Structures are given as C-alpha cells and as structure tokens.
Chains A and B, each alone.
Chain A
Amino acid sequence: MKMARVAYSGAIHKAFPDEYGVRLDDGRIVSETDVVWLTPFDVQTIIALGLNYADHVKELSKELTITEKDEPLVFLKGSNSVIGHRGHTRRPRGVAFMHYECELAVIIGPPAKNVNAANAMNHVAGYTVCNDYAIRDYLENYYRPNLRVKSRDGGTVLGPWFVDATDVADPHELVLRTRVNGKITQEGSTSNMVNRIPELIEYLSSFMTLGPGDVILTGTPEGVVNVNEGDEIITEIDGIGSLSNTIVGDGTFGIDDA
C-alpha cells in the first residue's frame, strides 16, 4: 500500500493514490496540487550514506581519498532539513555547485540492535524517495560531509508516499532517475549499491539502536549536476514514487542582497 500525509482544507489527513488525484481518509478525492504534502511518516533519526554507488564514487574520484572498501561512509542529518513533496529549497546567492541526490530511503519499523544481515529486512517498515541536497561550496574536511553542506533547512526532501516493505519485491532492483526541468540528468539502479540494505542495518545496529521512523538514505548514483533558482527537480524511483522540489532564491526567505 502507498500512503501519504497531506494537509487539506484545514486538517491533516492520510492520503492514497487515486486515478483522479489523491483520495483522503475521509473519502474526498482532490487534486494533488490542492494539498500540502507533508513527509509520509514521522521522521526520526536521519542516517545518510555517502559514496554508496560504485558509479558515483567514480564520478567524484578526483576529490576522494577513500576507496569503496572502507567502512560505510555514514553521516547524520538534522530534522531541520526535512520537507515534503512539492516543497521549496533555498539556494543561497553566490554558490557555484548545489546538487540533488536521488536516493532510496529505507524506513525502519521494529527496533534493531545487533541485527544480522540475514534478519535485517524484518526491521524495514517501508520505503520512500529522498532528494538529499548538497552544496559543495561549503565542504570542509572535518566530519565531511559537514552539516553546512548536507543538513541545511529544506535539504532533505522526503515523499511523496510511504510504500509498505511487503509491496517491494526487491529493493535492490529499482531504477532511480532525476529530471531537472523535465530533462533526465541522473539514472541508475539500486543494484549498484556498494553496501546493500541488510549490510547497512547490520553495520548501523552494531553500535546504535535503530527505531521506528529512523530512515536510512542509501546514497545516490552518478549524474549529479548543478541546479539553479527556479529549477524543478523530480527525483523518482520506479514503484516507489516521484518526488518534486523547486529551487528558490534568498529573496523568498527575506534575505536581502549582501
């Protein structure tokens, strides 16, 4: 089952796909542009993977000092960064390289501690799509990628749907794709993950207890390009969802010219 959370007509509702838009939990069928899309689940700890696709590692190889044989490159993001489908993300004036990252987001269900890879999938509640923005201008070589790059307000777009784990036959055979203003700029397959979902859960749960609503952003394939104010970025994963985000400028947030 696919389920979203939306605000409509003064209240928050569960919503479901419908051929004429979305169907609310009270029976109303409304256009998907008439609702405000919230994140499809209550987001708790946000765990992100860097360099988890072999092709993306190659893409960034000039600036890398690690190899894919090292332990998973994990970082955490703040909840300030979370927004839903059709949200707006600010590109600060003057930056040169802000890019999207289309990622399969794995949502944890039952708590997981010291879980073996063989049992790990029992702890997955479902999936959604993430657009995990980065602004490379702000990269510094301390706790890299540092939070100023990856945990900015609006930098973690999640949605539109929570897709039950039981509805996804093989999460490692999904096609990911990003379109910027309609043009495909990124395409890959979750089959190219360096560390797969069961291994990630085993690794993470070896030192921290994962709980319901924690989310693992499993990394992005090659094909990240700079985006600019006004661009519409659609990150999509076949069978999971198609997630839209629009880049806005400082003016939208009342930030004056420097």
Chain B
Amino acid sequence: MSVDFSVPPYAYSGRVYGSILNHQASIDALGDEMFDVPYKNPPSAPILYVKPRNTLARSGSVMAVPSTHDVLQINGCLGLVIGETASRVTRTSAISHLAGYTAVIDVSVPHHNFYRPSVRFKALDGSCVVGELRQRDEISDPNKLLIKVAIDRDIQQEVSLGACVRDVEQLLVDVTEFMTLQPGDILLTGLSVGAPEVKRDQIASISIGGIGDVSVGFDSERVNA
C-alpha cells in the first residue's frame, strides 16, 4: 500500500493537506449561502482537509471507482512541497520553506455542502495523484501559474492561481500558524468551483505550466471474491 515517492533530494512524507474556498470563484459560488445556516459566516481561517495515505497514488495510476459512485470530481491542484520545517512562518520567509512544487489531482466525490468534514468524499483509495517535484528556484512566481484540467485530453477547466483568496505565501503563513509542516509534506493551494467530472474508462489529466503533468485513469472496483 505504501507509495514510494522518492524524488531526490526530497521524499514526499505522504502527508497531504488540501484547502477549500481559497479560490474567489468558489467563494462567489457560495455567495449569500455563507451567511445562512449552517455556515452563518464566510470562513476566516484556511479550511483544510487531509488526504490520508491510502489516497496516495502516482501519476499514470488507475483508480478503482467504488460501485456506489457513478461520477467523480477532478480537482487540479498545485502542491506546495515543504523542504524545511515550517512553523509560524512569515510572508517574506514562506517560500524559502518549500522544496518545490508538484501537480496534484485530488479526486473527490462531488459534494455541495461543506458543513461537515466529508471524509467519505475525500478519502477514497488512490484519490490523491501526485506528480514529480519541480525545484523551488525553477519557478519565479507560483502565484502566476495556470492549471489546465482535461478529461480524455479535452481541456475542460482552467484555473489561475492568481485568483486565490490567499496566495502561496499567505496560505503558508495562515496554515503554519497552527500546524507545523515537515519536509515532504504537501499543502494544496485549493480547489476551484467548476471542477470537471469523470466516469469509468475515462482518463483525467492536469497540466501546470512549468510544473508538469499528472494523469489518472478510472476503472470499476474489483471486489475480491
């Protein structure tokens, strides 16, 4: 079950944290709902989720889709790969704690209510597809990156990191205020609204200019006899 992500000089730790409502479009999509029950207020601190180790997969893998679901949602994410222990970092030092970046596909069960942590929708086996590490210094400004999401090679969504509520630096500041991130940990910059959906026998891929590509196929879950 363990996935070897040894990418010299860093190995991913297998700890992946994602964030929601960090794209302005996602905030706009909820709109006035944020002032109503159950949310009552817009979020103030980063809203995070965990992709546990059973979700980790390499690019090119095939995910088994449980029989309980017909469609899954493809979230193209930029993964910030921690290089130095990051605890209560400042804006100016934030980027220096990174080893680099990677493209990550977060496969989720589509859900439109964000009140409860939704582990059942986020923790399917093989639902966090992680690419190769791109060294930090190769990217001049991560906040200018563009994520293209394709289903069967047809581009269906483009997400600009420039539209984030918290840019890369601020996300690291606000998360490490309460969580120390360790080398190899990955923090995803956030999901955007309008993520495309896939069915069995399709292939999802994302491409982040300057970072790389990641793909994952989908098949039926084989139930052991």
Contact = CB atoms under 8 A, between A and B. Distances in A.
A44 B116 CA distance: 22
B14 to A, nearest CB: 9
Contacts of A7: none
Interface size band for A: 35 or more
Contacts of A210: 54
Contact of B179 (A78, A114, A211): A78
Interface stretch (B43-51, B132-140, B162-170): B43-51
B218 to A, nearest CB: 16
A138 B180 CA distance: 17
Interface of B: 1, 15, 17, 20-21, 37-41, 43-50, 52-55, 66, 87-88, 114-120, 123-125, 178-182, 223-224
Given A143-B115, A152-B178, 15 more contacts: A73-B116, A74-B119, A76-B52, A76-B123, A78-B50, A141-B38, A141-B40, A142-B47, A142-B114, A146-B47, A151-B179, A152-B179, A209-B125, A214-B52, A255-B88
B44 A143 contact: no
B45 A209 contact: no
A140 B116 contact: no
A207 B43 contact: no
B116 A207 contact: no
Contacts of A152: 178-179
Contact of B123 (A138, A143, A207): A207
Contacts of B40: 141
A-B residue pairs, 9 tightest by C-beta = A76-B50, A45-B52, A75-B117, A147-B48, A142-B47, A208-B123, A209-B54, A143-B117, A74-B119
A76 B47 contact: no
Contacts of B41: 140-141
Contacts of A211: 1, 53-54
17 contacts: A73-B116, A74-B117, A76-B50, A76-B123, A78-B50, A81-B179, A140-B44, A143-B20, A148-B46, A152-B179, A153-B178, A153-B179, A209-B54, A210-B54, A211-B1, A211-B53, A255-B88
A148 B47 CA distance: 8
Contacts of A111: 1
A147 B114 contact: no
A80 B47 contact: no
Contacts of B125: 113, 208-209
Interface in A103-160: 111, 113-114, 138, 140-148, 151-153
A151 B49 CA distance: 10
Which of B38, B45, B118, B179 has the most chain A CB atoms closer than 10 A to its own CB?
B179
Contacts of B17: 78, 147
Interface of A: 44-45, 47, 65-66, 71, 73-81, 111, 113-114, 138, 140-148, 151-153, 207-211, 214, 255
A148 B180 contact: no
B66 to A, nearest CB: 7
Contact of A76 (B44, B87, B117, B180): B117
B49 A76 contact: yes
A141 B39 contact: yes
B82 to A, nearest CB: 11
Given A80-B182, A114-B223, A138 B54 contact: no
A78 to B, nearest CB: 6
A43 B47 CA distance: 23
B21 A76 contact: no
Contacts of B180: 80, 153
Most chain A beta-carbon contacts within 10 A, residue among B44, B88, B119: B119
Contacts of A208: 52, 54-55, 119, 123-125
Given A65-B38, A209-B1, A209-B54, A143 B178 contact: no
Nearest to A111: B1
A210 B125 CA distance: 10
Given A141-B40, A153-B87, A76 B119 contact: yes
Contact of A80 (B52, B116, B123, B179): B179
A74 to B, nearest CB: 5
